[in-house]
């Protein structure tokens, strides 16, 4: 099984492999192709293409499957567009709960849409930041794009 997300996007091979994905109009709803979130719905353009391909951080997905069990409560802090929120929802099942925290309105709109599209009754989205103390802090929302 090839993990397409591990092929460097700066390499010639990586750029060529990503060309067809770039042709997808932003906002296209895709079924996630593989992995533990397979067949869940994902909005193309809401995050990197590895999310709807199901290969995004595949090693972490596999590791989380060993630790996140049905019935648990999981806190997804900094949920962004919600890839791990979807994964946690599936892993904890109907008896578990997922609390997805996301302070950035841009990311939160995708998170809310992903939860709604997938009818995730065990997920609660909280539009707030989480920190170890109360107060105001500087935050970046550039998604690594400087």
| Per-residue confidence (pLDDT) for residue 38, from 0 to 100 | 95
Condensed to tens digits (0 to 9), the pLDDT of residues 38-91 reads: 999 999 999 988 898 888 998 999 999 999 999 999 999 999 999 999 999 999
Out of 3.30.300.130, 3.40.190.10, 3.30.465.10, 3.40.50.150, select the CATH number for domain 4-126. 3.40.50.150
pLDDT in tens, 97-113: 999 999 999 999 999 99
Domain boundaries, the chain: 4-126
pLDDT tens digits along 8-41: 778 787 677 666 667 778 889 999 998 999 999 9
Query: Which residues fall within 8 angstroms of residue 76, CB to CB, at 6 or more apart?
Result: 82, 84, 85, 88, 98, 99, 100, 101
What is the rounded CA–CA span in Å between residue 37 and residue 23?
Answer: 23
């Amino acid at each position: 099984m090839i993990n397409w997300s591990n092929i460097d996007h700066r390499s010639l091979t990586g750029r060529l492999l990503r060309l067809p994905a770039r042709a997808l109009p932003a906002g296209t709803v895709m079924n996630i192709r593989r992995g533990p979130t397979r067949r869940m719905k994902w909005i193309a353009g809401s995050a990197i293409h590895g999310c709807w391909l199901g290969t995004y951080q595949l090693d972490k997905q596999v590791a989380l499957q060993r630790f996140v069990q049905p019935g648990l409560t999981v806190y997804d802090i900094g949920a962004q567009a919600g890839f791990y929120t979807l994964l946690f929802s599936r892993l904890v099942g109907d008896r578990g709960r997922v609390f997805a925290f996301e302070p950035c309105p841009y990311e939160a709109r995708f998170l809310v849409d992903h939860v709604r599209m997938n009818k995730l009754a065990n997920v609660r989205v909280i539009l707030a930041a989480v920190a170890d103390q109360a107060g105001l802090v500087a935050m970046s929302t550039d998604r690594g794009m400087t």
